[in-house]
Amino acid sequence: LINGVESYGRTRMVDCHSEQTATVKGVPKDTSLSETVRKDKYKGIHPVTLHEKDGKRLVISTFTCDILVTSCVRLDPEGKSAVSVGGDTHIFIISEKDSSKIRIFFDSERVKLCKEMKKSLCRVTRNMGVECLRQIRTKFDRFNTYDLSRCSGPMTNSILYQPYTIFTIANSGGGRGRAFGAGFLFNKIGQAVIINKEKAKLARSVIRVSLEQCTSNQDFRTSLEAIQALFSDSVDEITVIGNAELNKH
């Protein structure tokens, strides 16, 4: 039972975090891309587990996007039920051999809701928050990094039941410490891009709040101080999109 997913564009021009094809010592790297000659259960839809360095990625692949499973529950009749939270899914492995045997079922209410959303995309975007941003680690200066393509199923509508991301981690814990300071920074950056798009800016005041949470000389404090140095005496805001120096830190 899939409760949370993140969608990634198929090509780099559409999504800078798209799955990249490559070869390692002349051997093609495993890819989720559906083959044109393979007979999938559903044409152009290929569910498979990718074995990456940082874990097992359960992906539902199409010719236009990859759908990464980030939250799921396994319900086995023998009592072997298990829960997986995050992008590393160990409880349900799909091999290339078994991929064509997998059947996919959709929640009818969610399908209905998606059809309604398509009628008013601008209104939907304005109502979405940082919980719809994907858990990413790089390229914070690219606009499509902030695509609102993370969603949850009916059992995990509440943010309390969704995996934390760098944009939502500030909502956890007691609101103190370096984890909160880092989460606060990314939360404010995410909000700025959602609201102002390519014109999003980061305020000096946000850095001050984050610095207050880093009481010792920690690695994260060093990064915050480097970001603070990007502000001049007469400038209290810096751009987010296209700012390679900000992204570097």
In a shared domain, residues 156 and 53: no
In a shared domain, residues 235 and 151: yes
Helices (H), the chain: 96-99, 108-117, 121-127, 177-196, 204-212, 219-228, 244-248
Give the residue carrying structure tokens 């790089």. 138
Give the domain range for residue 149: 130-247
Is 239 a member of any domain?
yes
Dist. CA 240–CA 146, nearest whole Å? 11
In a shared domain, residues 157 and 179: yes
DSSP notation for 178-192: HHHHHHHHHHHHHHH
pLDDT value for 23: 61
pLDDT value for 114: 84
Q: Look at residues 84, 117, 150 and tell me which one is the last residue of a structural domain.
A: 117
Copy the structure tokens of residue 74.
């396994």
Task: Give whole-number Cα distances, 240 to 52, 114, 122, 230, in Å.
Answer: 30, 30, 22, 12
Is 138 a member of any domain?
yes
Least trusted range by pLDDT, from 32-46, 74-88, 89-103, 181-195: 32-46
First to last CA, the chain: 38
Copy the structure tokens of residue 117.
């959303």
Do 68 and 86 meet the contact criterion of CB atoms below 8 Å apart? no
What is the DSSP pairing of strand 55-61 with strand 46-52?
Answer: antiparallel
Is 123 a member of any domain?
no
Is 122 a member of any domain?
no
In a shared domain, residues 64 and 161: no
- Residues 193-233: pLDDT tens digits? 999 999 999 999 999 999 998 877 666 888 999 999 999 88
Q: Which residue has the higher pLDDT, 161 or 215?
A: 161
Is 78 a member of any domain?
yes
In a shared domain, residues 111 and 145: no
What's the pTM?
0.87
In a shared domain, residues 28 and 83: yes
Is 94 a member of any domain?
yes
In a shared domain, residues 72 and 174: no
Dist. CA 186–CA 98, nearest whole Å? 39
In a shared domain, residues 110 and 148: no
Q: What is the largest CA-CA distance in the chain?
A: 66
Q: How many domains does the chain have?
A: 2
In a shared domain, residues 111 and 210: no
Q: Look at residues 117, 148, 179 and tell me which one is the last residue of a structural domain.
A: 117
Is 124 a member of any domain?
no
DSSP three-state, residue 116: helix
